[in-house]
Structure 1
Amino acid sequence: MTTDLPKLGLAFVPTLPPERFRPLAATAEEAGLDELWMWEDCFKESGVAGSAIALGATERITVALGLMPAPLRNVALTAMEIATLDRAFPGRFLPGIGHGVQSWMGQVGGRVGSPLTLLREYALALRALLDGEEVSTDGRYVKLDQVKLDWPPQRRVPLLLGGTGPKSLALCGELGDGTMLASPLSVEEVGTAAKVIKNAAASDDHPIVASLIVTTGAGAQERLDAEMPRWHREPSPELGAAGDASAIADAVRQLAAVGCTSVVFQPTEDEPDLDGLVRFLGQEVKPLL
């Protein structure tokens, strides 16, 4: 288990409108956070377009995309988009892929019989394309004929995978350069997932990213409890963190102790002062760590 302090990020939850991309990215950077995490939920906002906007609005912060749904995107297109952003903003874009929400994939005609097989084929092909290789493959789902990027990344781009069940988490450990966990999870659930991932990973240094729903100020616990049913969880003291900077910093330490290398702060849908929360996290919570 790692005892190193994790990187701190902010989730841009897609209940926010696209016009908030630029100002919120700038606020997160000014507040001193390490990462800004974009989502690609159907049918809200493009994660790739949003990442490009956020990268263009900032100078330092890492912009991560967790996660692009493999059934929704041709793997060659995903490789092109990742390579373009990585070359334009060297070292600042962190992409991730996953199964996608199966009901959404069904709505767009992309649901497959074996999401695990698709993710394996997709991850292997995407890794090879990003490494500048010419790829020909005739898998169950991924089919490429002598495909090679004209403008591959100039470095080895880390590729995160995401999943929920034990088989998916093991695949993330085996093939990914890091794993993005689902939200929300308790510290115990994160620790259990981390063991599965690291048992399948090539080394103990495999990065693990966990989300932490946070609230502060008046009515913080009540707002946190009201958020949980939106994520199909019952309110519990084991989920999220509510309170002052010390309470939230303690929750971060607990996640780090079970293996997290990045903690992504996730605001509630009814957060009354998002910019204020971001500054609080960067200027009051981060110094305590």
Structure 2
Amino acid sequence: MTSLGVVFRPQVPPERLIAAARAADEAGLDELWLWEDCFWESGIAPAAAALASTTRIKVGIGLLPVPFRNAVITAMEFATLERMFPGRFLPGVGHGVQEWMEQVGARASSPLTLLREHLDAMRALLRGEEVSTDGRYVKLDRVKLDWPPANVPKILAGAVGPKTLKLAGESADGTILDGQNSPDRVRWAKTQIDEGRAAAGRTDPHHVVVFTHAATGPGGAERVRREQVAFGNDPDLGVSGGPDDFAALAAQYIDAGADSLVFTPTADEPEVESFIRFVAGEVKPLISRTSVR
């Protein structure tokens, strides 16, 4: 079954997050997603605030750029949130936007190697293992978490190109696909992920999260188009209109293999809470009887 989510965009002031998270929790939305985006908002602090302000909704970060972070402190943060809010935290990591990484002096010469080393170290630490490694970027000497979680959270990896998609299949527990992915491209991405999984001999579940830009109300189609153009995506991707339009697109992504479908409101969305209630209260019921939980 596929979960429905909404992104709380980092362009929205952080002081509005609590109200949005509570609206999502009360409306019955499955997931609320955050972005650690330069140089708007961080990921861990708002995730903790959203989780502490709610009782049932899952909170994801899609994603944390690993060039910003040490693998051990990131694993410690993940372990802490999982212990405090069991089963409700969905952490994602990725390369980050390389231009931004260069701005802060953190650009890696091999982003793929960096991401692999972070994923391998963090997943081992979260399993409670003692980790020693002398990688190109991650160097650990007998490191072990004192408070590993009872249940290891899935770590998702953001991926676009075939090499990173295969890496996500090999070393992550799920993959985050951004708003440039049509349903057909989601199918293609899953073939790349599955190649990586097969190469690593993995048979455990792999959670695929798909983001898609969305807007409602007058001018919604043009707002989505502008947003896609700004991201360098196909301007015809995304959805606008009423609940039937959203549900029809959701059905296509569900058929393509999305485990979580996350609607991304445009950066100029004036009523974030209303958008959340629309997805939870009007879109979700149209497809809940078949595949949405």
What's the TM-score bracket when you normalise by the shorter of the two chains?
over 0.9
- Indicate the RMSD between aligned Cα atoms, in angstroms: 1.3
Q: Aligned letter for 2:260?
A: S
Matched, 1:74 2:70: yes
What amino acid does structure 1 have at the position aligned with 2:28? G
Distance, in Å, in 2 between the alignment partners of 1:126 and 1:205 is 18
Question: Match of 2:264, SS?
Answer: strand
Per-residue CA deviations over 1:141-182 (Å, capped at 9, x if unaligned) read: 100111111111111211111121100000001111110112
* Aligned counterparts, 1:1-289, within 5 A: 5-201=1-197, 202-203=202-203, 205-236=205-236, 239-289=237-287
2:112 and 2:35 map into 1 onto residues whose CA distance is 21
Question: For residues 151 and 13 of structure 2, what CA distance do their matches in structure 1 show?
Answer: 33
Post-superposition Cα deviations, 1:178-233, rounded to whole Å, max 9, x if no partner, equal: 10112232222222112211232224842110011111222221222222222112
Aligned-partner Cα distance in 2 for 1:270–1:90? 33
**What is the TM-score of this pair, normalised by structure 1?**
0.95
User: Aligned partners of 2:217 and 2:178: how far apart in 1?
Assistant: 26
Opposite residue 214 of structure 2, the aligned amino acid is V
Are the equivalent residues in 2 in contact too, given 1:184–1:213 (CA < 8 A)? Answer: no
Equivalent AA in structure 2 for residue 280 of structure 1: F
Gaps of 5+ in 1: none
**Aligned equivalents of 1:102 and 1:187: distance in 2?**
26
How high is the TM-score relative to the length of structure 2?
0.93
Deviation readout 1:92-131 (Å, 9 max, x if unpaired): 1111111111111111111111111111111111111111
Q: Which runs of 5+ in 2 are unaligned?
A: 288-293
Q: How many residues align?
A: 283
Residue identity over aligned pairs, in percent, reads 53
Residues 131 and 143 in structure 2, CA contact (< 8 A), matched pair in contact too: yes
- Counterpart AA for 1:198: D
Equivalent AA in structure 2 for residue 60 of structure 1? R
